[in-house]
Each structure stands twice: as structure tokens, then as C-alpha cells.
Chains A and B, each alone.
Chain A
Amino acid sequence: MYTQSFNVPDGTAPGPQAVPTAADPALQTHFDTVIDADGKIEPRDWMPEAYRKTLVRQISQHAHSEIVGMLPEGNWISRAPSLKRKAILLAKVQDEGGHGLYLYSAAETLGTSRDQMFDALHSGKAKYSSIFNYPTLTWADVGVIGWLVDGAAIMNQIPLCRCSYGPYARAMIRVCKEESFHQRQGYESLLTMMQGTAEQKAMVQDAVNRWWWKCLAMFGPPDDNSPNSVQGMRWGIKRISNDALRQKFVDATVPQAEVLGVTLPDPELKWNEAKGQHDFGAIDWDEFWQVVNGNGPCNKERLATRVKAWDDGAWVREAALAHARKQEQRTMKEAA
């Protein structure tokens, strides 16, 4: 559910962009024709190397984001305020794990392996959505993540359902179907808190204040500073620009905040009658890039938690394989 809209180069020192190699012109022409006709590219079709690389990077970053995205909310499963909220949160976190699995499978159709992707994540080489490098301090954060973080992710992900790469588009359709529950449960949880005590209301407002700007940054750098976007648009991977999606998100969220009874922490946020949309303040991109490059409040903790879970599960993976081999040998012996 949590797309990394910006699709940044993995690693901290991005090298020069790969220059697409001259391929068979007939194949390239066929590919271009399919893309221009808004058609789909499937795993075994010929595709330019740069298209393949871009997709592997974007889909694997997206998958990593789903997996790491389980951690901030997972922290609250054992502290949920009621059995109902606990069951809901468990289901949501399980969905995120499922979304990660759909996306890893889609990336694998491009010729990368699950082990390669895990290695990239666990070694710290691969990026994931920077939003998860912030802490979830109170129960209200869980509601706000559902409402705003998932809300922003939905905005990003709906256009991806029309992505030119078939397996990615199909995975996104599945993800988007499940995503709406995530946003609604978060918003409803906040509505409940807003009918509570003054402290509970303050808790919601505080969480909104802390997450709002980070959610706006989730849409990625402004269009004039997002060189990859142009190529992504050309290839039908990206359909709507970062700024256009961000604007859509702001316009959709303002009335929801009013119903909820919270203010969005931006003094410059106001309706612009002439433009028919909201104006809003400047995003702190320096902070965004700091977090993307590993210096956010929770980068180290998240990665360490993920690596520990992977390492702790090693014996299960090995035992399952050993069991499968034993069963196979037993069957062969019986057949002999």
C-alpha cells in the first residue's frame, strides 16, 4: 500500500544513469508501438533494459515499503485499546505483508530473485518509503497512518493499476481493492477518539501535526525536480505527476479534516477560488532527503528489526526445506 512514488536510486551514491543500449530497432519499434497504444508489456515480451531496470527498482522498493511498513503499526498490536481494534490492526498489518508478497512476485517476473531483493533490503542498499522512518508515538498515530499515510498511498497507487507492465498493474489492482479498508478503519478510529476526552482529542491533533508534512512529501519531489518522472510517464509506468497527485490529496483531505474536527498544521493552507484548489505551504525537502539517505529518526531501528526477524526465521526456512526433501525421498522410496 505504500508506494515510493519517487523511485530514487538505491544506495547512497547514485552513479550516472544507465544509457539505454541500442537494441534491435524492430523490437524497440514494436515496444514503442505497444506503449503508445496504451497496451501492456508482459514478462516474456522484449523490453528495453532501462525499462526493466526501472521497474525492478520501483516494484522492489514498493515491496520493501510494504514489508517495512508493517513495523511502525506492528508495534501497537499488543497495545491496541480493545480486542476489536486489535483484530482490525492485525488484519491490516497482515494485508501489508500480503501486498509485499504480491509485489515481490511481480518483480520476480522481471528476472530478479527474492533472495537478491531481500539482500538489497537487509544490507541497507535498497530504499523503501521514508515515511516509515518516523516513530509511532501514540495510539492516535495508528489511526492517522490509516487515514493519511494510506490515503496518500491510495492516491499514488490507483494510477499504477493502469501501469504498462502487466504483472505490476495486476498486483496493484489487488492491493487497491484491499486498501480502502485501511484508510476507513484509521479514519473511523480517529472519529471515535475525537468523541472522547480532551486528552484523546489532543492526541489526535498531535498525531496529525506530526504526520501531515511527511505525508505530503510521500508523493515525491516537485515535478521540476523529478527527472525520472518524465521517462516513467513516457513508458506508461507513471500516469499522474507527483505535484498533481499531491494536490489531489490535499483537496481530498481538507474536508475530511473538517468533519473529524482537526486542523492541518499549515498556516498557508487555504482555498484558492481562482484555481479551484487549495494553496499550501512549502515542504521541507532537505528533511525528506536526509531521511531517504538514512538519517531519519528510525532508519536504523527499522532495518535492524527487519534483519532480526529475517535472521530469527532462518531455522524455520531451513527446517521447511529439510522436511520437503525428506518427504520427497520417502515418496521416491515408496515408489521404488
Chain B
Amino acid sequence: MNAPALKEWPLWEVFVRSKQGLEHKHCGSLHASDARHALQMARDVYTRRQEGVSIWVVPSASITASEPDSKDAFFDPAADKVYRHPTFYEIPDKVGHM
């Protein structure tokens, strides 16, 4: 055996679709030995009361996240672009709803 035996099962992030037509939403994490096992565990841990119709599990280590420290710089470019919102434009009342 080349890899050292892991003491604990790897960590997985769980996403649940609560009903058809809605997006999968992150609901927590769990430890499981492999993907199939993680799905089964996710069903037992996060959908004991029919909270879901579909589950995704993703190895936590596979997630790349933005840095909270550079939050301002990272999201700044959108801050001064008010013209991207419909309320930026004045339309005469007589035009009605647009």
C-alpha cells in the first residue's frame, strides 16, 4: 500500500435540491469513504423528512473559493456600475410599465 492509511473518512460538501425546479443548495458537510457512501450518508443526515429530491456531493478539497480578505478588491468592479440596473434609466410615466 503506497498511500498512508487515512485515519478519518474524507470530507464532502452536500447540496440538496428541495424540489423539482429549484436549484441545489449547500446544506452542510459530512465524512464518507467514497462518493456513493457520501450520497447515502447525505440522504440519512440531511433528508430525513423529505427535504430533497436530488443530492450532490462534492469532495470539500475540490472546492476553490474566493479569498474573504480580498473581498472588497475582488467585488469592487461591480460597485460603480449603476447603469447595469434598470432603475438607472428614467422613462416618462406615460410609457407605462416597461
Contacts and interface: CB of A to CB of B under 8 A. Distances in A.
Interface stretch (B2-10, B76-84, B89-97): B2-10
B24 interface: no
Contact of A321 (B28, B33, B49, B67): B33
A320 B48 CA distance: 23
B28 A171 contact: yes
B37 interface: yes
B45 A324 contact: no
A108 B11 contact: yes
A102 B33 contact: no
A46 B48 CA distance: 34
Q: Is the interface of B mostly helix, strand, loop or mixed?
A: loop
B9 A317 contact: yes
Contacts of B49: 178
A125 interface: no
B8 to A, nearest CB: 5
B65 A113 contact: no
Interface stretch (A93-101, A268-276, A288-296): A93-101
Nearest to A320: B33
Interface residues of A, number: 28
A333 interface: no
B5 A321 contact: yes
A323 B68 CA distance: 37
B23 interface: no
A45 B68 contact: yes
Given A101-B45, A317-B33, 7 more contacts: A46-B68, A101-B30, A102-B28, A113-B8, A171-B28, A317-B9, A320-B9
Interface in B23-51: 27-34, 37, 44-45, 48-49
A123 interface: no
Interface in A84-116: 91, 94-95, 98, 101-102, 105, 108, 113-115
B68 A321 contact: no
B26 to A, nearest CB: 10
A105 B32 CA distance: 12
Given A98-B45, A102-B28, A105-B28, A114 B68 contact: no
Given A98-B48, A108-B11, A324 B30 contact: no
B65 A324 contact: no
Contacts of B6: 321
Contacts of B31: 114
Interface in A111-131: 113-115
A94 B6 CA distance: 27
Interface of A: 42, 44-46, 91, 94-95, 98, 101-102, 105, 108, 113-115, 170-171, 174, 178, 317-318, 320-321, 323-325, 327-328
9 contacts: A44-B65, A45-B68, A95-B48, A101-B45, A102-B28, A105-B28, A317-B33, A320-B37, A323-B34
Nearest to B48: A98
B4 to A, nearest CB: 11
A98 B30 CA distance: 10
A108 B31 CA distance: 11
A324 B34 CA distance: 6
Nearest to A105: B29
Given A44-B65, A98-B45, A321-B6, A105 B30 contact: yes
B51 to A, nearest CB: 9
Given A44-B65, A171-B28, A323 B8 contact: no
Contacts of B67: 44
A95 B47 CA distance: 11
Nearest to B34: A324
A171 B8 CA distance: 22
Interface in B1-22: 3, 5-9, 11
Contacts of A44: 65, 67-68
Nearest to A106: B28
Nearest to A101: B45
B45 A327 contact: no
